[in-house]
A = this chain, B = another copy of it.
């Protein structure tokens, strides 16, 4: 446990630019330049500085730096959850891309039923991030005011609107619901079950699908909504609830692949074969969907690209680059596999 410290052991506080400057026999300003903009410093001087940095174990203080430059290289990211598989790919992609661009990610996981998004964002802004990523497009007017007042780039993700706060990359939940509805409409099925998580965007997908399915008045549509997060257990439970509402279904439409996987498990536990006896469709094309048995028919959205591009848009805007499109619809695709 007795690792050696740096030779400059007398310091209780961590070494500053001034300590490095003394060690190098230079002014703090020159050291600062050597570290941040070495091109404009004589190479031999840069070398002296580096030596002094190693000697002292100097680590820059970005609090002080950010205070003067008003740039923090920090991006705040607000997502509802990360343990339901839905947002994890996006968050990881954001983090990866930001790291490449030299930014750090301040991650805030707020849950689905937060009425305090506004307060949370306000505290995040006290770190003076250079940009912020928000999930979804529904925010309080107070939040909008705060963010616009902070005057930093914002990217909203995972939804679509022509009037974002600033920039947006996402997709239309309404269109996805409609696409799913139309896929089944006219295939001759008539008994539909909807399994939905209590998440606003999931509701939109569900309701849009129902609107389409109801175009045929013959169709029967039952639905179950359970509290987020959506996991396999919830899917199994939801299907049991559905079976109490009606004893037979042709199709179960789920608002996530995890729910779909649960429905399939529960169906097979009841000797219902998927897809022979029952069709099941999910959403998101999570990493297991293609490899499940049966492979899960789903709606694919490019979760990683969304994150990567959200980070890129932010970094570009922060760095003064031109943003080609402030609103990017990354679309979706119906992926027909075995389950439906």
Cα distance, A145 to B5, chains bound together (Å):
6
Interface residues of A in 134-162 (CB under 8 A from B): 141, 144-146, 148-151
Q: Are B63 and A72 in contact (CB under 8 A)?
A: yes
User: Is A290 in contact with B233, judged by CB distance below 8 angstroms?
Assistant: yes
A70-87 interface bits toward B, Cβ cutoff 8 Å, 1 = contact, 0 = none? 001010000001110100
Establish whether residues B126 and A14, one from each chain, have CB atoms under 8 Å apart when the complex forms: no
* Stretch of A90-98, A214-222, A248-256, A314-322 lying at the B interface: A90-98
Q: Is the CB of A92 within 8 A of B81?
A: yes
Stretch from A20-28, A101-109, A168-176, A184-192 at the B interface:
A101-109
Instruction: Name the B residues within 8 Å of A127 (CB-CB).
Output: 62-63, 74, 104
Nearest CB of B to A143, in Å? 10
Q: Which of A38-46, A260-268, A277-285, A328-336 contacts B (4 or more CB under 8 A)?
A: A260-268
CB pair B92–A104 under 8 Å, yes or no, is no
Contact B66–A63 (Cβ < 8 Å): yes
**CB–CB B265/A231 < 8 A:** no
Residues 206-238 (chain A) with a chain B CB within 8 angstroms: 231-233, 236
Interface bits A275-312 vs B (CB < 8 Å: 1, else 0): 00000000000011011110000000000000000000
3 pairs of A and B residues whose beta carbons are closest in the complex: A107-B107, A232-B288, A232-B291
25 residue pairs A–B, Cβ–Cβ below 8 Å: A3-B141, A4-B145, A5-B149, A6-B149, A14-B150, A59-B122, A59-B126, A59-B146, A61-B67, A61-B126, A61-B128, A62-B127, A63-B67, A63-B72, A67-B67, A82-B88, A83-B88, A83-B287, A99-B108, A104-B127, A106-B107, A231-B291, A232-B287, A265-B291, A265-B293
For the A-B complex with A63-B72, A95-B107, A232-B291 known, give 4 more contacts whose Cβ atoms are closer than 8 Å: A4-B145, A82-B92, A83-B92, A99-B108
